[in-house]
Structures are given as C-alpha cells and as structure tokens.
Amino acid sequence: MKCRNERGGRRAQWIRIAVMLVLAAGVAWFCLKVWRQGFRTGYILAAVFQVCALLLTLWFFLLRLKVGPAEISLTPAEVPVGGEVCVTWRQPFNRRVRVRKAAIKLVFAELTGTGGGKGSRIYGEETVVRQVEQVDREYGAGEELVLSGRLQVPPTGMHSFKSEDNELSWDVQIMLRIEGWKDDFMVYRRALKVLPRIGR
C-alpha cells in the first residue's frame, strides 16, 4: 500500500480551514466589540484573539516552508502476531534543515474504560515495541530523508481487540524533530490490524 501522507495531508487542510475561520471570527468579533463596548475594551479582547490566530498561522507557514509532503509506503495493512510490516518513508525538505531525530515506530496501545455515560473514564498506555531511527543529520534544500525498516510484531504480542470497555491496538507512527522545534512532529499515523496467529 502506497500512500501520500494521507493523515498529514488531511490534517494540513483542516488546519488551513481552521486558521481562516479563526481569523474571520476574530475580525467579526473585533467589529462587534468596538460597536457595543467602545474601542478600548473591544480592541483588547479582539487583539488577544487575533494574536493567537496569527501565531498559529505563522507556525503552520514556517513548517510548510521547511518540510515538503511526505511519501510513505506501508505493506501489508494486516499482519498476524509475529508478522512483519515494511515501511519506507521519503521526506523532502524545501530549505536547509538539521534533523535531530527521525523515527518510524511500531506502537502498542491498551485502552481501558470505566463506568458508562457521562461519568465514564478512559485510561490508556502506549508502548513503543519496535523502532527504526536516524539522528542528527543535515539536509540541504531539495534533498530528502529516506528511512525504511521492517517492524515485527512480537511473537508473544497480543492481536488487535476491541470491546465495550477495552481496546488493544497497534499503530505505525512516523515522527520528525527538526533543530529549533521543541517537540516531535507526527508526520504520519496509521492503524495496523494485527490478526491472531494461526494455530495459537
């Protein structure tokens, strides 16, 4: 299965739409506050709102300046317990960057729910089971990071499972950290269906 950053592309579209809506709402709010409460109070409230929106816009703009659209190949989409999934990640860069860490992770998550209705709570724990990574490398404009690996579900691992109160799930996550960024950026995330091993 070859996909062109499905989750990342959709997320980027939603971020752009959200930013435009926030900016439009900020302008409308500013006009309303000025009309109702006078310039001073309306200006202060709207200014705070607009600054937050502008910071979000700036962050997204700077991100897109450095990082191009990723291309990820993941096969197969379903594996048995003990099986392997092959992942190849090609990440182009629009500007010179230093990659502090790039990683492809196989993550196991266990979610447990308690109670029901409005009082219900969900507790979760994620464990990185397998990981392929590359650290501290510089890329020039137009160059691309290429990282691939075979991630095996442990032979003693659990298969995917979901019930009303519990869920066991597997994900393939691709993370990127560039010099100057405080946190990792999730480039891609896809659920992996792990089937029970035959004869187990």
Task: Look at the chain and report how many structural domains it folds into.
Answer: 2
On whether both 110 and 187 belong to a single domain, the answer is yes
The 10s digit of each residue's pLDDT in 34-64 is 666 665 555 666 666 666 666 666 665 555 5
The CA distance from 67 to 187, in Å, is 10
Average pLDDT of the chain is 78
**What pLDDT was estimated at residue 187?**
78
The CA distance from 109 to 179, in Å, is 29
**CB-CB contact of 178 with 190 (8 Å):** no
Residue range 14-27: mean pLDDT, rounded: 65
pTM of the model: 0.65
On whether both 56 and 135 belong to a single domain, the answer is no
Q: Is residue 200 part of a domain?
A: no
Q: Is residue 174 part of a domain?
A: yes
The 10s digit of each residue's pLDDT in 174-196 is 999 888 776 677 778 888 999 99
Q: Is residue 105 part of a domain?
A: yes
SS3 58: helix
Q: Is residue 20 part of a domain?
A: yes
**CB-CB contact of 123 with 161 (8 Å):** no
Q: List Cβ neighbours of 180 (8 Å cut-off, separation of 6 or more).
A: none
Domain that holds residue 77: 71-195
* Confidence check: pLDDT of 5 > 50: no
